[in-house]
Amino acid sequence: MSYVTIFAGNSVNGTYSTLQALQAAGNHTTLAYTHMLLCGLKAWATQTAADGAEEARKMCGGHGYMVISGLPEIVNSVLATCTFEGENYVMWGQVSHYLTKGVDAATLPADLVYLEAYCADMTSSCKAVGTDFRESRVLLDIFRRRAAKCIVEAYNLVAAAEKGNGLSREQAENKHATSLIVAARAHIELYVLEASIKQLASLPADTDMSIKAALNRLVSLFGLSTISSPFSPFAASFLGDRYISASQILEMRDQTDQLIQELLPDIVALTDAWSFTDASLQSALGCKDGDVYHRIMAWTRRLPVNVEAKNNGGVFKAGWEQYISPFLRENRERRSGSRL
């Protein structure tokens, strides 16, 4: 997720530079599109980072909950980004408003033209999707189909609430905010996939083949896990849609597991490539030398509560030195053969 976020970030930086150049010449035509994209990527990237940090914390079990693991602080500070600089639900609202306005327009904005193919297809029997789910073309087809379906469905709900219930556009969008957020998210994830595929295609020609292969696997993993993860609220997007069958979703999950196996030898290098310093992570678990357990003990001994405990009795209760500690020591010596 970090890699595709960087790919999408590089791409949107280009879009923003283009906007600035156009605006300097008095041309504001790409403003609405760029605004939508920045809002959507802000919400998507910060939520992805917050979910990822929390997942990393959980993966370290109880160790991840320790303050000296650094993970609670990382989770907390990343979580704040979902709120500041544009609260994420408000950001999704900006994207979905752009989508409903785009569908209403006499001509669809360029980034929404993919809706036409979906609408044309709805009346005919759906084409079966290709079976090589790692192939960019197949993944893009699936992402376009999913986004188009979500957008058209959400738009129809809003339109029905306006016409049927006499609500204003604002009230109708508020009523169907959940469906609109799903659609907004699917549209942004399509952008992330497109941007990642483009960035991979534009890597310098002399890029090491093994690096290209690893990055390609990461992008495929993003695509497949986004579509088929049982934990994804979007996995159900295709239910009742003949475009992808339930057995194809299972096949995607198999390919996801396969990709993870193939990526395993590169995972440490792909993680270290971000070059986080020990000082920035401030984690007893995450230091470069991997000396986790000595460091946990060393840092724990230096915690003020333990230093005070040693000097002043602190957390030690009366009787510890006199009874409990000798008892435990004696027990340990008696069982010296046991690791416990």
Ligand X SMILES: Cc1cc2nc3c(=O)[nH]c(=O)nc-3n(C[C@H](O)[C@H](O)[C@H](O)COP(=O)(O)OP(=O)(O)OC[C@H]3O[C@@H](n4cnc5c(N)ncnc54)[C@H](O)[C@@H]3O)c2cc1C
Q: Which residues bind ligand X (CB under 6 A)?
A: 80, 83-84, 87, 89-90, 93
Alpha helix stretches (DSSP H) within 166-245? 169-175, 177-201, 209-228
Decide whether 45 or 219 has the Cβ nearer to ligand X: 45
CB atoms near residue 278 (< 10 Å): 13
What is the CB-side half-sphere exposure of residue 239 using CA atoms within 13 A? 6
Closest approach, Cβ 171 to ligand X, in A, equals: 11
Decide whether 180 or 252 has the Cβ nearer to ligand X: 180
Determine the Cα–Cα distance for residues 171 and 169; give it in Å rounded to an integer.
Answer: 6
Decide whether 93 or 223 has the Cβ nearer to ligand X: 93
- The torsion angles phi and psi of 226, rounded to 5 degrees, stand at -65, -40
Of 241, 154, 237, 140, residue with least CA distance to 191: 140
Q: Which residue is nearest to ligand X (CB)?
A: 89
Closest approach, Cβ 77 to ligand X, in A, equals: 8
Q: Are 39 and 91 in contact (CB under 8 A)?
A: yes
Closest approach, Cβ 39 to ligand X, in A, equals: 13
Closest approach, Cβ 83 to ligand X, in A, equals: 4
Decide whether 87 or 254 has the Cβ nearer to ligand X: 87
Determine the Cα–Cα distance for residues 305 and 307; give it in Å rounded to an integer.
Answer: 6
Closest approach, Cβ 308 to ligand X, in A, equals: 31
CB atoms near residue 188 (< 10 Å): 24
Decide whether 39 or 139 has the Cβ nearer to ligand X: 39
Closest approach, Cβ 95 to ligand X, in A, equals: 13
Decide whether 99 or 259 has the Cβ nearer to ligand X: 99
Of 191, 157, 151, 198, residue with least CA distance to 174: 157
